[in-house]
Amino acid sequence: MIRILSVLLACCLALPVLAQGGPLRIEITEGVIEPVPFAAPAFVPETPQAAEVARQITEVVAADLTGTGLFRRIGPDAFISQVSDFNAPVAYPDWRAVNAQALVTGEVAVQGSALIVRFRLHDVFAGQEMGSGLQFQGTVESWRRMGHKVADVVYSRITGEGGYFDSRVVYVSETGPKDNRQKRLAIMDYDGANTQFLTDSSAIVLAPRFAPSGDRVLYTSYSSGRPRIYLLDVASVSTRALDTEAGSMSFAPRFAPDGRTVIFSQTQDGNTDLFTLDLTTGTRQRLTSAPSIETAPSYSPDGAQIVFESDRSGSQQLYVMPATGGEATRISFGQGRYGTPVWSPRGDYIAFTKQNTGRFHIGVMRTDGSEERLLTASFLDEGPTWSPNGRVIMFTRETRGASGEANLYSVDISGRNLQRIPTTGGASDPAWSPLQN
Amino acid sequence: MKKSITAFALCAALGAAGCTNPDRFAAGGAGAGGLGAGADGGIGTSVLDPSSPAYFQQAVGDRVLFAVDQSTLNDAARAVLDGQAAWLISNPEFTAVIEGHADEQGTRDYNLALGARRANAVREYLVSRGIAGHRLESLTFGKERPIAVCSDETCYTQNRRAVTVVAAGGLTS
């Protein structure tokens, strides 16, 4: 399933690289109220057999952009001019007339099992291209990824941020009644497409987490009868138990940015502490030894610090400490309980779950605990995971009652654009991959 | 579940010897079930073997309950556990896995740790009552296996529990 897509500057297009800084620009941090209108006429098929996939790729690009809440698509019915030749000059006045600020044009070729997508982004009101035309090449089966890659470039050029569409999410698929829920690991594209199950439901599985390279997944499973952490290779779907102490229980694993150190919680005699395990040497290290609960650890992107939750103060709160252990500094001070902290891949925020007066929230705060901002509120929201660009958070929302069901939602860090992620059946514990290569 | 606690309250009043009396408690429990069944009748009239896991579960009481976010054993819980200890002493070939659980009002990881705390509180109490530690294993299910599925306190109070599951023979791990 993993395929390498080559990203090439399209030499045949001979396009000049234009200076950035034109009027077409979205500052995400300033809070976009009015989405930028864009047009994405169906990409032009180079041959008739490419027509269907060209249309599908266009729809993926448009759905990615619209799904951010930052863009609004102008429907083809409004178009004055059509794009039937990718290399013909663009009739900018026609696109201005329908108020499209951005225009994405493309061309798709199928050559045997190979798929080639070329596209250009146009700043309609400036009447020029925004950046160079690009070409992506992959297999026909990877057509959705090609669309995501196009959308990532468009998003990135207009916002100045990294994209997040060519990414995957590993999560726990849920079926069955609440008192006998069947859980299994699943992986899908960030938008819910291409779901693949990674385990069966013979044992409870919890909280999968990607390796920084996206090729492996840590998770917790009861397959031995006790909660224990496992490492799964995504490509081969092979799994192995990690070496944790006999008689103990382990859970809440997460990779360090180095991709070889795993941090996790281990419970011995009822007490839960933080440990690390070096996957290469098998060396274990204890990081905490308090009688309180220490769990849900997450590394800073530079690997120097970890944020975790502890009830050492008497209630669940967030703490930051050096990655090697040592003195921990409490960073959460608001009302209620705080858990499941996750450091943003950009290093600028920590996302968390907050529980207060019978409600659950997903929130973000600066890494020193300042500027706390709650993004959601519901009966039960928990377990945030960051998009690769640190601008969107996915999490679990569970509805109340006997028929309560868990589903995945996303929200951007300004608290806007709350969306349910389509999954087959219930879903919980999402973990967002890094951008794919 | 409420029935077994009631049964045990009687037990406690009568002392540990009374608890292991099969005639009084197994018959009593089954009788109550028979009455409840009404016209259909005819169920549950057999006497439970006092050395059976079913007897432990129904007559001794296999679980204790906890307050919100707590792992402290209250008087009622200690009374149930005294009965469990007596049964385990009388039935030395049995081992027990103590499963700690939490209600859904908490994050997943924290609830795993909380369930482990609850299981361990029970384990330590049973050890203090003379049960060898090697016969007792604690396990947490966090909020993964509620027995009551509503989303209010009537269910939460049943889910904040530690259940002692007895089995003949050794522990697996």
Strands A205-210 and A196-197: unpaired
Minimum mean pLDDT among A17-31, A40-54, B46-60, B89-103: which range?
A17-31
CA distance A174 to A132: 44
Query: Which helix (H) or strand (E) segment is A185 a member of?
Result: strand A182-189
Average pLDDT value over all residues in chain A: 93
> Cα–Cα distance between A296 and A252 in angstroms, integer?
6
Tell me which chain B residue has its CA closest to the CA of residue A226. B139
Residue A38: helix, strand or coil by DSSP?
strand
Q: With cut-offs at 50, 70 and 90, classify the pLDDT of residue A32.
A: low
Residue A161 Cα distances to A102, A106, A154, A343, A392, angstroms: 17, 22, 10, 18, 12
What pLDDT sits at residue B43?
53
Q: Which of residues 338-367 of A touch B (CB under 8 A)?
A: 339-340, 353, 355, 358
Q: How far apart are CA A255 and CA A239, in angstroms?
A: 16
Distance from CA of A74 to the nearest CA of B (A): 42
How do the domains of chain B map onto residue ranges?
49-168
Q: Is the pLDDT of residue B4 over 50?
A: no
Give pLDDT tens digits for A373-404: 999 999 999 999 999 999 999 999 999 999 99
Cβ contacts of A296 on chain B, cutoff 8 Å: 107, 109-110
Query: Each residue of A298-314: pLDDT tens digit?
Result: 999 999 999 999 999 99
Confidence of residue B12 (pLDDT cuts 50, 70, 90): very low
Q: How many CA atoms lie within 13 A of B129 on its CB side?
A: 22
* Domains of chain A and CATH, by start: 6-159 (3.40.50.10070), 168-432 (2.120.10.30)
Per CATH, which fold does B49-168 belong to? Answer: 60s Ribosomal Protein L30; Chain: A; (3.30.1330)
In chain B, residues 148-167 whose CB comes closer than 8 Å to chain A: 148-151
The 10s digit of each residue's pLDDT in A301-350 is 999 999 999 999 999 999 999 999 999 999 999 999 999 999 999 999 99
From the list A246, A295, A340, the residue facing B113 with the nearest CB is A295
